[in-house]
């Protein structure tokens, strides 16, 4: 290793800023480092922001996520070799959940993929986007073009009143009401082009909005000027997705888990389960055939003390699993968690205990989502 390498290693990695960084600070956002960026964890408080989103509409800045466009001759077959998705069933402008898997069938990332007129639009997680881009470039043929849409911002408007707020300020060739859950289209916001899909990660009705970064502050101001809308931080985003039973990459999902034990088999389409032909297929098909020792489940805890990621799960004196997410549910008024537990203890209604610093908390396996989804279908 050279002296220059030594110096490079010693230099701290710079925390990046998002297009709305100044906007968040002006709104009173408490900024924290997340996925390599400064991001707002809260404005007026996580509990208040959580409940506001459940009752009205919250605006989330998710511009840290990676927006990619993949195109070129033979792009559909090339992408099917990388993703466990049946793209022949993917209608234009309809986002669908999928995953990137490694050679051993472990989950590298979860993502959304949409068929656009000349290729496919992917939204990947912020903490993994550079690794995802490298993985895709390595495994896609040379004739396929991967474009990182790094001059675009991404906002999520979520909650039961999101439609009313957005409809008031959006324009397009067709009405916003034409979008049902997991449908998207091109619109105009404050004169700027906007790709809008009726989707999100809160369990509520809502929209994800891709816009030019240079227009982000103007559009965020426009949306927050609507009486239904307030800015919401990372804290409430996490508690909302947990209540919705939605896994978070790096916590509930990792290369240690396949789509089978992660209980995400719906993302491996029927044809792909029988044919394979994607990276990691051997393990996924084996897990399908043989089952997995553990599976991701939801847990409802007694009392009000929450348990966090890493806490061990017990059935009597036997350790049977580990928590991957946990927290207090503002909507339900008690703690909830996700965990990987042995299949023998995975049935709904199974009584378990969670060890929190030597204290055993009673918990019960329950179906997810913890709070019913309210998507507009």
pLDDT at 2 over 90: no
> What's the chain's average pLDDT?
96
Identify the band that residue 341 occupies on the pLDDT scale cut at 50, 70 and 90.
Answer: very high
pLDDT of residue 13: 78
The strand pairing partners of 107, in sequence order, are 101
pLDDT of residue 10: 56
Peptide bond between residue 81 and the one before it cis (omega within 30 degrees of 0): no
* Residue with token string 């993302």: 267
Distance separating alpha carbons of residues 250 and 131, to the nearest angstrom: 13
**Considering the chain, what percentage of its residues have pLDDT values greater than 90?**
97
pLDDT of residue 11: 64
pLDDT at 55 over 90: yes
* Nearest to 44, CA basis, from 181, 230, 174: 230
Counted residue by residue, the chain has a size of 377
Distance separating alpha carbons of residues 339 and 261, to the nearest angstrom: 11
Strand order of the β-sheet with 107-116 is 96-101, 107-116, 119-124, 66-71, 145-148
* Residue with token string 């506001």: 52
Distance separating alpha carbons of residues 242 and 203, to the nearest angstrom: 9
pLDDT of residue 6: 45
pLDDT of residue 256: 97
pLDDT at 42 over 80: yes
Helix (H) or strand (E) holding 318: strand 318-329
Model confidence pLDDT, tens digit, residues 351-375 = 999 999 999 999 999 999 999 999 9
So where are the chain's domains?
3-64+151-243, 293-370+373-377
Per-residue CA distances from 123 to 21, 65, 267 (Å): 21, 7, 15
CA angle, residues 136, 137, 143, in degrees to nearest 5: 115
CATH number, span 293-370+373-377: 2.40.30.110
Identify the CATH homologous superfamily for domain 3-64+151-243. Answer: Probable tRNA modification gtpase trme; domain 1 (3.30.1360.120)
Model confidence pLDDT, tens digit, residues 63-119 = 999 999 999 999 999 999 999 999 999 999 999 999 999 999 999 999 999 999 999
Model confidence pLDDT, tens digit, residues 159-193 = 999 999 999 999 999 999 999 999 999 999 999 99
């Amino acid at each position: 290793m050279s002296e220059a390498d030594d110096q490079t290693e010693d230099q701290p990695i710079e925390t990046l800023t998002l297009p709305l960084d100044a906007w968040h600070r002006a709104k009173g956002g408490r900024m924290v480092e997340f996925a390599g960026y400064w991001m707002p964890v809260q404005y007026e408080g996580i509990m208040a922001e959580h409940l506001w989103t459940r009752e009205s509409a919250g605006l989330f800045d998710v511009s840290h996520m990676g927006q990619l466009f993949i195109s070129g001759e033979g792009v559909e077959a090339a992408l099917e070799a990388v993703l466990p998705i049946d793209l022949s069933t993917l209608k234009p402008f309809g986002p669908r959940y999928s995953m990137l898997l490694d050679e051993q069938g472990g989950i590298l990332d979860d993502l959304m993929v949409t068929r656009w007129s000349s290729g496919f639009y992917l939204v990947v997680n912020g903490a993994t986007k550079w690794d995802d881009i490298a993985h895709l470039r390595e495994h896609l043929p040379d004739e396929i073009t991967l474009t990182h849409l790094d001059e675009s911002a991404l906002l999520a408007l979520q909650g039961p009143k999101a439609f009313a707020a957005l409809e008031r300020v959006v324009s397009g060739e067709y009405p916003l009401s034409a979008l049902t859950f997991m449908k998207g289209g091109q619109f105009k916001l404050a004169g700027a082009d906007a790709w809008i899909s009726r989707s999100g990660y809160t369990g509520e009705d809502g929209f994800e909005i891709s816009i030019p970064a240079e227009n982000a502050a103007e559009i965020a101001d426009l949306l927050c000027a609507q009486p239904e809308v307030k800015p919401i931080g990372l804290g409430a985003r996490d508690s909302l997705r947990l209540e919705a039973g939605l896994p978070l990459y790096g916590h509930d999902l990792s290369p240690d888990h396949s789509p089978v034990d992660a209980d995400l088999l719906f993302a491996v389409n029927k044809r792909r389960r029988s044919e394979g032909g994607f990276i990691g297929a051997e393990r996924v098909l084996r897990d399908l055939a043989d089952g997995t020792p553990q599976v991701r489940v939801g847990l409802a805890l007694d009392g009000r003390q929450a348990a966090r990621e890493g806490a061990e799960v017990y059935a009597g004196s036997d350790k049977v699993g580990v928590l991957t997410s946990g927290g207090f549910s503002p909507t339900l008024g008690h703690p909830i968690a996700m965990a990987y537990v042995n299949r023998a203890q995975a049935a709904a209604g199974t009584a378990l205990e969670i060890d929190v610093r030597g204290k055993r908390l009673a918990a019960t396996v329950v179906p997810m989502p913890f709070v019913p989804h309210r998507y507009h279908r």
